[in-house]
A and B are shown apart, each in its own frame.
Chain A
Amino acid sequence: QQQVKQSPQSLIVQKGGISIINCAYENTAFDYFPWYQQFPGKGPALLIAIRPDVSEKKEGRFTISFNKSAKQFSLHIMDSQPGDSATYFCAASRRSGGSYIPTFGRGTSLIVHP
C-alpha cells in the first residue's frame, strides 16, 4: 500500500524555470511533511518541511504548498539552477508510540539544463 504518491517520476526544466513536484497522501493522521534532496552517492538531506496548520512555507527559492482538504502538497523550486539537479523525495510523518516515522514518496529525478 503506497501511502504517499509522488509525481512526476522525472522532470526536466531549463535554467531559470520553475520546477514543481507533487505529492498526495491518504492517512489524515500525518502531521509533518518534509521534502528531502538527494544527490548521487549521498544520503537524503532535509530541504524544507511543513505542518498541516499552514498552507505555504517558503525558504529561499523553495516553497511548499499544502492543501489539507485535498490531502496534497507540492514543492516549487523557483529560478531552478543546474545545481538543483538531484532526486527529491516527499515524505509524510505522524507521531506513533512517541516516534515520528516517515513514509516516503518514490522520488522525482530533476534535471535542470543550463
Chain B
Amino acid sequence: DSGVTQTPKHLITATGQRVTLRCSPRSGDLSVYWYQQSLDQGLQFLIQYYNGEERAKGNILERFSAQQFPDLHSELNLSSLELGDSALYFCASSVEPGLPQQFFGPGTRLTVL
C-alpha cells in the first residue's frame, strides 16, 4: 500500500457526461500527479500540482481539468466524455517536485458507454 488513496475505484458513465476523480496524497507529500493509462497510449502524464499550484502540464485535453485543495487532496474533472476517455486514471504523489520518486495510488477505472 503506497499511502495514496483514490476514489472511486470504478466509474461507469455515458458519453457527454462529466465526472470527478479524487486523490489524497501520502501524508507529507505536497506534489500530486495525474496519469492516464490506456491500451493504445500506455501510461501518460496529464498534469502536476504542487502545494495547490499547477506545476507541469502533459498531454491533458482541454475537456479535462484538475485542482489541488488546501488540504492537498486533488480532483481531476473530466467533461464532455467520449468513448476514448475510457481508461485507468492514476494519481501519484511525491514529497516535492524536485524529488523523482513518485508513489502511485490504486487508480480509478473509468468506463464511458
Contact = CB atoms under 8 A, between A and B. Distances in A.
Interface of A: 32, 34, 36, 41-46, 49, 89, 93, 95-107
Could you tell me the dominant secondary structure of chain B's interface residues? strand
Interface residues of B, number: 27
A100 B100 contact: yes
Given A43-B2, A43-B4, A45-B2, A100 B106 contact: no
Interface string B2-32: 1010000000000000000000000000010
A107 B48 CA distance: 22
Given A43-B90, A43-B104, A43-B106, A100 B97 contact: yes
Interface string B48-78: 1010000110100000000000000000000
Nearest to B9: A41
A106 B101 contact: no
Could you tell me the dominant secondary structure of chain A's interface residues? strand
Given A101-B56, A101-B58, A107-B42, A49 B101 contact: yes
Given A43-B104, A107-B43, 7 more contacts: A43-B92, A43-B107, A93-B100, A96-B56, A100-B97, A101-B45, A106-B42
B102 interface: yes
A114 B2 CA distance: 28
Contacts of A106: 42
A106 B37 CA distance: 10
B101 A46 contact: yes
8 contacts: A34-B101, A43-B2, A43-B105, A46-B103, A49-B100, A93-B100, A100-B97, A104-B42
